[in-house]
Amino acid sequence: MTGGTLQNIRIALAESRELDLLAQMLEREGAEIVRCPLVTIRDTPDAAGVVEWIHGLIAGKYADVIFYTGEGMRRLTGFATQAGLRAEFLAALGRVRKITRGPKPVRALREVGLAPDVMAEVPTTAGLMACLIDEDLRGRSIGLQIYGQEPNRELVNFLESREASVHIVAPYVYASESDDQQVESLIRHMADGRIAAILFTSSPQVQRLVEVAEKRGLADLLRSGLTRARVAAVGPIVAGELERHGFHADAVPESTFTMKPLVRAVAKLFQSGSPL
Question: Each residue of 5-15: pLDDT tens digit?
Answer: 899 899 999 98
Q: Alpha-carbon distance 262 to 14, whole Å?
A: 13
Q: Is 268 exposed, middle or buried (0-12, 13-18, 19+ CB in 10 A)?
A: exposed
Contact 39/16 with Cβ under 8 angstroms?
Answer: yes
Q: Is the pLDDT of residue 127 over 50?
A: yes
Average pLDDT over residues 180-196: 96
pLDDT band at 91 (very low <50, low <70, confident <90, very high): very high
Contact 97/114 with Cβ under 8 angstroms?
Answer: no
Q: Alpha-carbon distance 214 to 270, whole Å?
A: 30
Parse the chain into domains and list their residue ranges. 10-38+177-271, 42-173
pLDDT of residue 272: 57
Q: Closest by alpha carbon to 31, among 231, 169, 196?
A: 196
Contact 213/25 with Cβ under 8 angstroms?
Answer: no
Q: Is the pLDDT of residue 111 over 50?
A: yes
Q: Alpha-carbon distance 191 to 212, whole Å?
A: 15
Average pLDDT over residues 176-195: 93
CATH topology (fold) of 42-173: Rossmann fold (3.40.50)
pLDDT of residue 274: 45
Lowest mean pLDDT across 35-39, 80-84, 151-155, 269-273: 269-273
Q: Is 1 exposed, middle or buried (0-12, 13-18, 19+ CB in 10 A)?
A: exposed
| Number of neighbours of residue 14 by Cβ within 10 angstroms | 26
pLDDT of residue 154: 94
Q: Closest by alpha carbon to 262, among 15, 41, 8, 72?
A: 15
pLDDT of residue 276: 44
Residue type, 51: V
Contact 144/167 with Cβ under 8 angstroms?
Answer: yes
pLDDT over 90 percentage in the chain: 81
pLDDT in tens, 205-255: 999 999 999 999 999 999 999 999 999 999 998 999 999 999 999 999 987
| Number of neighbours of residue 41 by Cβ within 10 angstroms | 18
* Mean model confidence pLDDT for the chain: 93
Tell me if 10-38+177-271 shares its fold with 42-173. Answer: yes
Show Cβ contacts of residue 203 under 8 Å, excluding neighbours closer than 6 positions: 147, 237, 238, 240, 241
CATH class for the domain made up of 10-38+177-271: alpha beta
pLDDT in tens, 194-212: 999 999 999 999 999 999 9
Q: Closest by alpha carbon to 17, among 111, 115, 104?
A: 104
Contact 180/215 with Cβ under 8 angstroms?
Answer: yes
Average pLDDT over residues 74-97: 98
Q: Alpha-carbon distance 272 to 127, whole Å?
A: 33
Q: Is 126 exposed, middle or buried (0-12, 13-18, 19+ CB in 10 A)?
A: middle
